[in-house]
Amino acid sequence: MAEVVLKHIQKIYPNSEPSKKKKKGDEKPHRMNNLKITEEGVVAVDDFNLEVKDREFIVLVGPSGCGKSTTLRMVAGLEDITRGELYIDGKLMNDIEPKDRDIAMVFQNYALYPHMSVRQNMEFPLELRNIPKDERRRRVEEAAEILGITEYLDRKPKALSGGQRQRVAIGRAIVRDPKLLLMDEPLSNLDAKLRNQMRAEIIKLRQKINSTFMYVTHDQTEAMTLGDRIVIMKDGEIQQIGTPQEVFDQPVNQFVAGFIGMPQMNFYAGKLIITESGRYAVKVGDAVIEVSEEKQQNLKQRNTQPQDITVGVRPEHISLNGRESAMIEGTIDVSEMMGSSVHLHINTLGRDSIIIVPTLELKGRSLSIGSTIRFTFGEDVIHMFDADGLNLEYK
């Protein structure tokens, strides 16, 4: 029901202690915890641009301190927007009070009102909007039905388990039928099993209500499974926006490549070279691998020059069989048996990397710790990053 547009949004926390800084003399730190510092203060979010479509499920993801929660809180109206414009359904929202934005929010620690019963908790937003009693009752029961918390309506939050509390928090958010539903790490206080369960519930919930979702998490699995599109952030800046498939297959830079995917992508120091036949190839150690046709096109279009690069390959894309000239050698540090596959931690070219090998492929091979292993990767799964960490194909 709502489109959300963020244009050049910036958030700066003013320096609270300017006097302290002066004492330190001329030393001018430009980055603290990798956040930019300008004369105005610490830049928590910088030049954030995003258009969220009606009923879309957008996930903001990134390591802690990347500004994702701050962005969400600016959309909610809990933080002032230093610069830039926020539109919801075409209306400028910068100076509108949170209560007039028609949004709801689910907090990480649930933020239920401890002195009210579940029913009162869910009725509270309706009561503040002067909705008649009967209507309130109907809507609370409807929401409780969707979330399966009908039987707890008269309990206090204290008497509920973590998962139930989270349902109540979601219930309180959806009774109002808000245009936009904001969720700030709603699952991170739950244990692993409950988290998986609630994740499925949120996917189901989406089918039942008409709101647009903005969801913040630091967990890339959550982001990949829930989001229609994912916004990956770091140090207050957007790294990439795209569908889960896009960010997985075409990471624009080394950070995104490393952040998305479990276990992490392996990185090797390598070289981009042009072979005698005029084709692009990567050289890792002694191994030379010519890249696929699509990548050849991409590199050619950008007129890419041979250079030192970082080669990225996902663990699941590494295979133990291949042409002899493309083989890389390493020693096994650790081998973890995961059931259907084995995760091998390998020391190659002075770096640690992980290989996932399906158990079936392993038959007859010795994988004892300290033994040497040879592996390679396909021409179409190579990611190439330049010295600045940018993906050469999408630069």
Partner 1 sequence: MSTVKVTGKKNRQSTRKLTVNILVHLFLAVLAVIWLLPIFWIVLTSFRAEPGAYTNTFLPQGYTLNNYVKLLTDRNVLNFPKMFGNTLIIAICCCIFSTFFVLSVAYSLSRMRFAFRKPYMNLAMILGLFPGFMTMVAQYFILKAMGLTEGSAIRFGLIIVYSACTGLGFQIAKGYFDTIPRSIDEAAIIDGATQWQVFTRITMPLAKPIVIYTVMTSFIAPWVDFIFAKVICRANADQFTVAIGLWNMLQKEYIYQWYTCFAAGAVLISIPIAALFLYMQRFYVEGMGGAVKG
Q: H or E stretch including 108?
A: none
User: Which two tokens mark 389?
Assistant: 């960490």
Which residues of 151-285 form beta strands (DSSP E)? Answer: 180-184, 212-217, 229-234, 237-242, 266-274, 280-284
Nearer to partner 1, 109 or 325 (CB): 109
Residue 138 CB, nearest approach to partner 1 (Å): 18
For the chain, how many residues are written? 395
Sole residue written with tokens 């503040």: 128
Residue 170 CB, nearest approach to partner 1 (Å): 12
Nearer to partner 1, 129 or 302 (CB): 129
Residue 141 CB, nearest approach to partner 1 (Å): 18
Q: With the CA atoms of 16, 18, 23 and 29 taken in that order, what torsion angle do they form, in degrees rounded to the nearest 10?
A: 80
Residue 182 CB, nearest approach to partner 1 (Å): 8
Q: What Rg, from alpha-carbon coordinates, does the chain have?
A: 25
Nearer to partner 1, 129 or 365 (CB): 129
User: Which two tokens mark 44?
Assistant: 């928590």
Q: Tally helices (H) and strands (E) across the chain.
A: 10, 22
Residue 108 CB, nearest approach to partner 1 (Å): 8
Which DSSP string do the residues of 196-225 spell out, in sequence order? Answer: HHHHHHHHHHHHH---EEEEEES-HHHHHH
Residue 136 CB, nearest approach to partner 1 (Å): 13
Sort strands 318-319 and 328-337 into parallel, antiparallel or unpaired: unpaired
Nearer to partner 1, 130 or 366 (CB): 130
Nearer to partner 1, 113 or 394 (CB): 113
User: Which two tokens mark 351?
Assistant: 């770096």
Q: Is the dihedral of CA 225, 226, 227, 230 positive or negative?
A: negative
Residue 101 CB, nearest approach to partner 1 (Å): 9
Residue 13 CB, nearest approach to partner 1 (Å): 12
In the sheet where 237-242 sits, what is the strand order? 103-106, 180-184, 212-217, 57-61, 229-234, 237-242
Nearer to partner 1, 112 or 287 (CB): 112
Question: How far is residue 171's CA from residue 143's CA, in Å, rounded to a whole number?
Answer: 6
Q: Which residues bind partner 1 (CB under 8 A)?
A: 76-78, 98-99, 103-105, 107-109, 111-115, 124-125, 128-129, 172
Nearer to partner 1, 110 or 248 (CB): 110
Nearer to partner 1, 112 or 223 (CB): 112
Nearer to partner 1, 39 or 100 (CB): 100
In contact, 175 and 168? CB cutoff 8 Å: no
Q: Is the dihedral of CA 185, 186, 192, 197 positive or negative?
A: negative
Residue 27 CB, nearest approach to partner 1 (Å): 26
